[in-house]
Amino acid sequence: MFQDRPDRDEIVLVGRSNVGKSTLMRELTGHSKFTTGKKPGVTRKPNHFDWNAEKFMFTDLPGFGFMSGVDRDTREAIKTDVVQYIEEHADDILAAVLVVDGKSVIDIIDRHTTEDSIPHDVEMFFFLDELDIPTVVAVNKMDKVDDRDERLNDLCDRLGLFPPWKQWRNVIAPITAKRGDISHLEDALRSHLHEQGRDDLFKFL
């Protein structure tokens, strides 16, 4: 289990390995200390970026799912740690950002959907909902997607949200973190913070 968590309210970033969570973390915080890499699984423990005076932080949680060169037991242990972290600190999590790869997310979900199993992305979305954690699905790498609206509508369908996606702007946020295009996500997070009376945190978005 992850240790040494600062005592802060937080916004957490979750998602599969190699979907751009750490790149997004750099964009949200304006700091470049977060490790990124083409090799999946670079982040193995939470990366916290906190503001002591505000008792607030962003947390980049380790990626889950398949990771090249990482054995199944290790992958499952990481996922379990992520789930336990979220469960344990749910009361302090103001919002969750579930990051997915806009280019591949539909194929991945469909490939892993069977009668007996739910894909990690969908499972995590439902898990966060069960804990009443406001969740934004940040659909990253949208610069590589041609059929933008169709892809986002398909994602809504897979998540149990009635398309079109544009009626879910507080839930579905198309972004391209690498290019700094994260305005849809920032708008959605501000909306969730406002509902919790935390307009004081707008300055971080």
**In the chain, what are the domains?**
9-194 (3.40.50.300)
According to the model, what pLDDT value does residue 82 have? 93
CA angle in degrees (0–180, nearest 5) for 101-111-72: 85
Over residues 108-122, the pLDDT tens digits come to 999 988 888 888 999
pLDDT tens digits for range 4-23: 788 899 999 999 988 999 89
Look up tokens 């999946």; give the residue.
40
Per-residue model confidence as pLDDT tens digits over 52-108: 778 899 999 998 876 667 788 888 888 899 999 999 999 999 999 999 999 999 999
pLDDT of residue 32: 61
Question: SS3 of 37, please?
Answer: coil
Please give the Cα distance from 124 to 8 (Å, whole number): 22
b/e code 31-45 from CB counts within 10 Å (16+ = b): eeebebeeebbbbee
- What pLDDT digit, counting tens, does each position of 129-174 carry? 999 999 999 999 999 999 999 999 999 999 999 999 999 999 999 9
Q: What is the pTM of this model?
A: 0.92
